Structure 1
């Protein structure tokens, strides 16, 4: 079995994001580390925070990265098998670097805060992301230019994420539907990630990355910058920072996973959007999301059935 762990981006966090993890001993240090920056235990924050706070840029990034780090720690308290590939979607890549051991969980969360701060300072107060499905990329690019937007993320199945101001993305979505899009609409992400609107965030985030201590990855870490594996983190930091203002090709990441013979995929969440995309892009792989299971016991059992017997104890 070749396993890939996928770390989700913003937009799918909800009231139950930490319901499966709140009582997991191996997840507790990570949840505790996130309590300070969130001002409450992550499970309590998700249950009680106003909807606007739940989807704010800073809080959303912290919640999604905390969720992935905590899920990986709970599922693999002794570490995932060393041939595991870990990749992340948007801010999920920050979690992927942490899970791969490049940064400690505390350093990962601190860098996520720095990332969010740089993005908030560079972006506008009315920025947001929107999605469109069913149009050719050339058509999406033409409409994006017309409404002063930009493609943020390229997904499989003609699904694109577009960023701009709220008014611009709303006008873009209306035009996309008129042009024959299967669907288009705003997302609960209030920052124009991965577009030139965040060019001003690249340098400060790059400085924060350069100042953080790094180690060689203990897992096979794939970056969305070129859909390549990271062997020397120091040489990949510039690409990680540049992603803030550049289009991410997630479809290429999934293609790279298929080329590397991935047979099992688990999305760490929140949500299962990445699992749905992976299932379509890797039709012969077994694909699940942590949120598919009613408990981590079920997720562990599913993993154990697919791990080589000599490494099965990593999921117990």
Structure 2
């Protein structure tokens, strides 16, 4: 499915790290949201409702729990909005959010999306335990400068740009010592770096084992052509059903091109970006990428009702 000039509203699905105890608490009794939570809990074998509303930060932040909570809330919010007449013309995820986007776009059923999520979170957690790595956000500078620092500081170790968040924020991922060298080099240039609270070096070659295992699983999955275009993190282009296994595999070891995706969507006519999920990280990134775009985060009852009223 190609993008066209009739785009207006884009749903954005939150990525890992956006979780917080109590997230979505006042939305869980919305019928569509409740149904998605029930489905996730049944398939993932964990009480996702309890994770969001009752679990302490330490429990919620575990990779499997965080991914379950974030994806469930994103899919639930999107489902509720669509049921109330807010129709996206495209959907875009950030890292984990790309899995949520599979359900919203219609490429997978909600049930199959959670089955896929269970496998993905399992192989990623295992790879992170076996290949120690970290991620760090580099502020200011340019993408080209980040790429230069990664190339010069790798010194035979894994060190790569992992998330192209905006022109002034790129996340790098790799082995601990390599990331430490890159952080020092970045600060020598007069910029700031901030270590992220992740459990591994995601979107880097350190996830190759996870990618191999995930690839084998994806060969058993039947993807449908999307009802709504899904913009893929790996190349900032619409994802086709036939390409889904290869692209979702590459997604684990290649960078998230979020900035490029927003730019492509804006060029295709998108004017309104709605983050469905908690925290507003993507909402803030859109503001940095292009301040002329409308952007909002729907994460609670008040923000949901306000968007529905504005769309009426």
Q: Same fold (TM over 0.5)?
A: yes
Aligned residue in 2 for 1:279: 287
- Give 2:3's aligned residue: none
Which residue is equivalent to 2:33? 27
1:204 maps to 2:204: no
Q: Note the 1:131-146 alignment, pairs <5 A.
A: 131-145=137-151, 146=153
Q: Match of 1:314?
A: none
Alpha-carbon distance in structure 1 between the residues aligned to 2:35 and 2:217: 23
Bigger mean CA deviation after superposition, 24-33 or 277-286: 277-286
Given the alignment, which residue of 139, 161, 177 partners 2:171?
Answer: 161
Contact 1:57 1:191 in 2 (8 A): no
**Between 186-195 and 86-95, the greater mean CA deviation after superposition:** 186-195
Figure out how many residues of one structure are paired with residues of the other and give that number: 301
Distance 2:85 2:67 in 1: 24
Aligned position for 2:255: 247
1:130 to 132, 136, 143: 136
Contact 2:138 2:170 in 1 (8 A): yes
Task: Decide which of 11, 19, 23 is 1:13's aligned counterpart.
Answer: 19
Shift of 1:2: 0.9
* Deviation for aligned residue 1:302: 2.6
Q: Do structure 1's residue 261 and structure 2's residue 266 form an aligned pair?
A: no
Task: Please give the secondary structure, in 2, of the residue aligned with 1:224.
Answer: coil
For the residues of structure 2 that align with 1:292 and 1:134, how far apart are their CA atoms? 32
Identify the residue that residue 310 of structure 1 maps to in structure 2. none
Pair 1:4-2:33 in alignment? no
Tell whether the 8 Å contact from 1:65 to 1:91 is kept in structure 2 after alignment: yes
C-alpha change, 1:36 and 1:189, in structure 2 (3 Å) is farther
Q: Distance in 2 between matches of 1:294 and 1:254?
A: 26
**Which range moved further: 144-153 or 21-30?**
144-153
Shift of 1:115: 0.9
Tell me if 1:63 matches 2:73: no
Unaligned 5+ segments in structure 2 are: 1-6
Q: Secondary structure at the match of 1:241?
A: helix
| Superimposed CA distance per residue, residues 125-155 of structure 1 (whole angstroms, 9 cap, x where no aligned partner) | 5433221111233432343342542211112
1:111 aligns with 2:132: no
8 Å Cα contact 2:138-2:171 kept in structure 1: yes
Gaps of 5+ in 1: 305-316
**Which residue does 2:200 correspond to in 1?**
191
Residue aligning to 2:103: 98
SS at match of 2:170: strand
**When the two structures are superposed, what TM-score results if normalisation uses the length of structure 2?**
0.87
Contact 1:85/1:221, CA 8 A, preserved across alignment: yes
Question: Matched residues in 2 for 1:203 and 1:302: separation?
Answer: 45
Once residues 198 and 177 of structure 2 are traced to their aligned partners in structure 1, the CA distance between those partners, rounded to angstroms, is: 14
In structure 2, distance between residues paired with 1:35 and 1:236? 25
SS of alignment partner, residue 76 of structure 1 = helix
Distance 1:175 1:169, change over 3 A: same
**Which SS does the other structure have where 2:76 is aligned?**
helix
CA distance, structure 2, for counterparts of residue 80 and residue 226 of structure 1? 27
Which of residues 279, 299, 304 in structure 2 aligns to 1:296?
A: 304
